[in-house]
Structure 1
Amino acid sequence: MNRIICLLLLFLVLSCDSDRAIRNPYIQEIGFRFDLNLSLPLYSPLTNPGSPVYIGLDGVGNRGVFVINAGFDQFRAFEATCPNHPPNSCSTMEIDGQNAICPCEDYEYSLFTGQQFNVPEDDNVYYNLLEYRAVQSGNSVIISN
């Protein structure tokens, strides 16, 4: 019986992953929930795949959230704060087609994947967009963190 317990404990210890996700030091991860009604004219572009909208309401993300209809009833939501420098007067990104652009350094990110397109070739660490949960429920999309 002791051998079984020892083997189980050994298995549990070895199966634990010590790798932790690298957190972005520039963006505070806050908790929020926002129900986005697709029937409202402001959010009606989201009924078409590939169409993003910006939600800049207080309490929705740090500086707002970008939401895009990624097709096949999938929605993606990303923080609108540029992830690669401390927040400042120019760090709220802007939509450019299906991408987000940081006006500070012209960093460009995909609103389908959150990945940065133009990563500088230097020794610095660069971050992709901070993604939030986006779940469709009927005619609403619930954005939360």
Structure 2
Amino acid sequence: MKRILMLLSLSITLLGCSSDDEIRQNPYLPHLNFSVQFDLNLPEYNQLNFSGNKFITRNYGINGIVIYNLNNDQYFAYELTDPNHIPQACSALTVNGTAASCTCGDGNVYNIITGEQTAGTGEYMLQPYRAEKRGNVIQISN
């Protein structure tokens, strides 16, 4: 009888739990599929050869992407659209140093190294893209 009660209790506990592994989809930003490579041998991307530097392109993503070189082995890439707004003219982020800010009037500011919101209102962090360095090429994809 004890065994049956223990199994019943365990079953109820397992069925009553929800998964914390579920990733919340941002309702404001559309999902994009792309892959682009940046050859660090080209002069246009030279600043990405040095730790602490960034490169911004408006040719990919929704309103562009920013790539940040943390330590020559680890790179971060984020969407340059405020993740707490429907894409519009004011939600295109402007990068100054390591801060990315929008002009929608709510004071939203994000850190381009961590993606975290540092000022303003909202529940979403910057949308990250996969950044991988292979030799002298950085591949950014989603």
Per the normalisation by structure 2, the TM-score is 0.81
Letter in structure 1 aligned against 2:115: G
How many residue pairs end up in the alignment?
129
Q: Which residue of 2 aligns with 1:132?
A: 129
Pairwise CA distance, 1:18: 2.6
Aligned partners of 1:50 and 1:98 also within 8 Å: no
Pairwise CA distance, 1:45: 1.1
- Deviating 4+ runs (over 3 angstroms): none
Letter in structure 1 aligned against 2:37: D
Q: Which residue of 2 aligns with 1:51?
A: 53
Pairwise CA distance, 1:116: 0.4
Q: 1:17 to 1:43 in 2, by over 3 A?
A: farther
Pairwise CA distance, 1:117: 0.2
Rg (Cα) greater in structure: 2
Aligned partners of 1:108 and 1:116 also within 8 Å: yes
Letter in structure 2 aligned against 1:143: I
Query: 2:93, 2:42 → 1: CA distance?
Result: 24
Q: Which residue of 2 aligns with 1:3?
A: none
What root-mean-square deviation, in Å, do the aligned CA atoms of Structure 1 and Structure 2 show? Answer: 2.2
- Extract unaligned runs of 5+ from structure 2: 1-9
Q: Which residue of 1 aligns with 2:138?
A: 141
Aligned partners of 2:49 and 2:72 also within 8 Å: no
Pairwise CA distance, 1:103: 2.1
Pairwise CA distance, 1:136: 0.1
